[in-house]
Amino acid sequence: MNDWGLFFFIAALGLFWARNMQYAVWSLAAEGVVLSIMVWSSAPLTSVTALVGLATLAVKGLLIPGLIHRIMRSWPARFRQDYPLPLWAYGVAAVLILSVGHVMRLLGPTALIRDAALFFYALSSIHLGFVMIVARRHLLSQLASSVAIENALVVLTVSVAGSLPTFVELGMLVDIGIAGILMVWMSHRIRHQWQTTDVIALRRLRG
């Protein structure tokens, strides 16, 4: 499980560094694949775990990345590249990742953390996602960051609680699937209407 947690964290780092949205889509899809494998390997394989793993793969590994990729391919090349991250974002990300160790020491006496390595990878990935939401300017980067945070929250829950009830996992997949479809459609409409994917430019449209 910890090995897959490391792969998940590497995918989160790939998403953090990716300026080309094609690479960001692949990183997001990799997170979905790793999550589905973690579901299958976290408990004895039953029909229920197989169903949840397949649903995770379908929604987070295929549906949402596939929709982003399909929309992005219809855009001109200049809209497929994000702006470089500001230097402060790398510093903030490094500080937040290093602070996870301090959080783990504070929570150690509570025996809340069941898997320390997985907790580190998950919380670090959440921090990276929040930094991306603040620092990234591309519409699809914002969307990918939101999905990545939700993915990392699932891993964080596993590191603390061991697993989620099946109906909760399936409900979350339905929610994120519908939200992802709506956000991709809205991103496409915004790009078509305003001819920009820069969220900074879109803020100037407010009255």
Instruction: Render pLDDT for 23-45 as a digit per residue (tens, 0 to 9).
Output: 999 999 999 999 999 888 877 77
Q: pLDDT grade, residue 98 (50/70/90)?
A: very high
pLDDT at 74: 86
The predicted model gives 97-115 an average pLDDT of: 89
Q: pLDDT grade, residue 6 (50/70/90)?
A: very high
Number of domains in the chain: 1
pTM of the model: 0.91
Backbone CA torsion sign across 28, 34, 38, 40: positive
Non-local (6+) Cβ contacts of 32 within 8 A are: 56, 57, 59, 60, 61, 62, 64, 65, 151
152, burial (CB in 10 Å: exposed 0-12, middle 13-18, buried 19+): buried
What domain range is 147 assigned to? 2-203
